[in-house]
Structure 1
Amino acid sequence: MAQELGVEAMSLYHHVPNKDAILDGVVDAVFAAIELPSAECDDWRDAIRARAFSARAVLSQHSWALGLMDSRRNPGPATLRHHDAVLGVLRKAGFALPMAAHAVSLIDSYIGGFVLQEANLPMKTPDDVGEVAGGLLERLPVDELPYLTEMIVDHALRPGYDYTSEFGYGLDLILDALEARRR
C-alpha cells in the first residue's frame, strides 16, 4: 500500500495505529464500493440480485480481499451499513431472523466462491472457452468420460456460450430456494 501511495511503509503508521487498522480500512473501502441493496425496492429478489452482481463485479477487481472480508474484528462503517442493508431487505421481505442469516451466508458464500473460481479459470473471455474446451476435448478419452464429453460438446462449445452467465443462473436457483422458505 505504501508503495502505491509513494511513501515509506512506516509512514503509514502516522495515520493509523497498526496493520489491523489498515486492513480494516481496506476491507471497508471494498464494502463501500459494493452497491447497497435498495430498501425501497418492491421485490427483495431484485434488490439482492443487484447487490450480488455488484459484489461480484467489485470482488472480481479485488479478489485478494475475499480472505480478509469476514476476518476483521473491527468492521468499518461501510461494512456495517452494508450488512445491515442486506439483512434489512430480507427482514422486510418476511424472512425470519435465522433464515435471513442463513440467506446472507449462502448468498455471500456463492458470490465469493464464484469469484475465486472465475479468477482461477484458464479462460477470461467467451472466445477462450472454445479454445480451452476444444483443447481438452482433443485429449479426452471420450469412451471413458461420456458425460464430460457431452457437457463440453453440447454446452461449453455451443455458439454463444459464455461462462459468466453461470453466475446469474446459479444466483437465481438460490433466490428461488430462499423464496420457497421465506415464510
Structure 2
Amino acid sequence: MARPRTALLDVDRIVEEALRISDATGDFTVTQLAAKLGVHPSSLYHHVAGRDEVVDLMRARIARAIDNSAFGQVPWDEALRKLAWSYRAAFARHAGSIRLFATALIRDKESLAEYDRIADGLHSAGFPWPEILPIIVAFDSFVLGSALDLASGGNINAPDPQLHPALSAAVEASESGAHPADAAFEAGLTALLTGFRHRLGSP
C-alpha cells in the first residue's frame, strides 16, 4: 500500500487536540489524546517527548496570543494593565485548561520569556528583586481567576429581592452598565495596581 502524501500526525495536530480535550475535561492523558487522533500512543512519541512536552506546547500556543509588547514602551503599570486584558482574553478562550496550566511547571520558552520581560520591567521601575515574584504570582492568580469568570458568564444571577435585597440591588445595577465580568476585572485590576504602586512608593 502506498504511503499517504501528507503526514497523518504532526505537532500542531497533537497540540490542537490536546487543547480540545483539556478545554472540555480539564486534563488529558496520552492514551486519550492518541485515541482522539486515531493513532497508537507510541505514534505520538515520534513527534513529542511525552505529556509534559505537550502541556508545554499547549501553554506556548496560548502565550503567543498574549501581547506583552508595552513593557519598555510605557510606564510599568500601564504595561501591566495592557498585558492583563490580553492575558485574560487568551486564557478565557481555553478556560477549561486553566487548572491544568495552574498546576504544571512553566517551562516553555514563550511563557518564560514573557515572565522575564515582566520581571525586567518591574525591576527597572524600581521594585526590589524579592518583591517581583510575589507580584507576578499575585497578578497571575487574579488574571487566571478572572478568565474563568469571563468564560463562565458570571455565577450570580437574579437573586430573590425579598431574601437578598442588597445583592439584588447590586445585580440589577450591574446589568445596566458594563458587562459584569469586565466591570469586576477592571475594579480588581485597578485595586491590584494601586496596591503595587503603594508598595513601590508611587502616588
TM-score bracket for the superposition, by shorter chain length: 0.7 to 0.9
Query: RCO greater where, 1 or 2, for CA within 8 Å and sep 6 or more?
Result: 1
Map of 2:165 onto structure 1: 146
How far off its partner does 1:28 sit? 1.9
One-letter amino acid of the structure 1 residue matched with residue 89 of structure 2 = A
- Could you tell me which of 4, 10, 25 is aligned with 2:57? 25
Map of 2:179 onto structure 1: 162
Relative to the length of structure 1, the TM-score reads: 0.79
Q: Which runs of 5+ in 1 are unaligned?
A: 124-131
Residue 180 in structure 1 maps to residue 201 in structure 2:
no
Contact 1:38 1:89 in 2 (8 A): no
How far off its partner does 1:109 sit? 0.7
Map of 1:63 onto structure 2: 95
SS of residue matched to 2:138: helix
Map of 2:39 onto structure 1: 8
How far off its partner does 1:18 sit? 1.3
How many equivalent pairs are there?
168
Instruction: State percent identity of aligned pairs.
Output: 24
- CA 1:182–1:14: 2 relative to 1, 3 Å: same
Find the aligned partners of 1:151 and 1:73 in 2 and give their Cα distance. 39
- Could you tell me which of 114, 126, 130 is aligned with 2:146? 114
One-letter amino acid of the structure 2 residue matched with residue 156 of structure 1 = S
Find the aligned partners of 1:53 and 1:9 in 2 and give their Cα distance. 40
Find the aligned partners of 2:151 and 2:106 in 1 and give their Cα distance. 28
How far off its partner does 1:119 sit? 2.0
One-letter amino acid of the structure 1 residue matched with residue 145 of structure 2 = G
Contact 1:94 1:182 in 2 (8 A): yes
SS of residue matched to 2:45: helix
State the Cα RMSD in Å: 2.5
Find the aligned partners of 1:100 and 1:26 in 2 and give their Cα distance. 26
